[in-house]
């Protein structure tokens, strides 16, 4: 919705949370925005991660999205993460996160990034962002994408620094395909 507010055309938006997806319609109306042409509805709580990854891999097949049978020029992955960069707002997060939670998130992020990479057009950009200070979910994840895909190059990376706002930590990287 932030992209739409800035006038950026959004062809598709998805989320592994059925609750957040259900709330999107009301938010679009509240903000006076036009909703994406391909709304996604997933049911179940929590959403099956395999279903989400399957969706990402197959979303742009001609039978699913006639706008482009080949892929997307830009993909933004606001990855599900441990949220350890938001402790100033949610100090209890440190009590809710265990090391095995982070390990599972790293695997999910890897699957999402690989599924998105398949749908990225040659020359396209993949923007990856998190709100965690965990290196395994940030720079190490981006390095791993580059190791798995020889056509991936790092364009830009932001870690802490200018992204530290109000005591919070954000990470972002832009990769180019080809």
Residue 80 near residue 56, CB atoms below 8 Å: no
The single-letter DSSP state of residue 10 is: -
Residue 112 near residue 75, CB atoms below 8 Å: no
Backbone angles phi, psi at 122, to 5 degrees: -55, 135
Output the six-digit token pair for 33: 């925005």
Does the bond joining 72 to the residue before it have cis omega, within 30 degrees of 0?
A: no
> Catalytic pick from 38, 81, 102, 131?
131
Is 81 labeled as catalytic in the residue annotation?
A: no
Q: Which residues are catalytic?
A: 131
């Amino acid at each position: 919705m932030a992209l739409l507010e800035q006038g950026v055309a959004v062809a598709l938006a998805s989320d592994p949370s059925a609750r957040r997806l259900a709330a999107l319609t009301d938010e679009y109306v509240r903000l006076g925005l036009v909703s994406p042409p391909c709304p996604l509805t997933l049911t179940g709580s929590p959403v099956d991660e395999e279903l989400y990854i399957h969706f990402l891999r197959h979303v742009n097949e001609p039978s699913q999205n006639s706008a482009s049978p080949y892929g997307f020029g830009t993909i933004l992955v606001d990855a599900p993460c441990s949220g350890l960069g938001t402790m100033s707002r949610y100090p209890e997060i440190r009590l809710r996160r265990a090391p095995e939670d982070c390990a599972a998130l790293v695997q999910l992020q890897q699957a999402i990034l690989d599924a998105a990479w398949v749908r990225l057009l040659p020359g396209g950009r993949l923007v990856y962002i998190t709100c965690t200070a965990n290196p395994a979910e940030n720079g190490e994840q981006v390095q791993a994408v580059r190791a798995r895909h020889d056509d991936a190059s790092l364009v830009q990376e932001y870690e802490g620094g200018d992204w530290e706002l109000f005591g919070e930590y954000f990470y972002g990287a832009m990769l180019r395909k080809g």
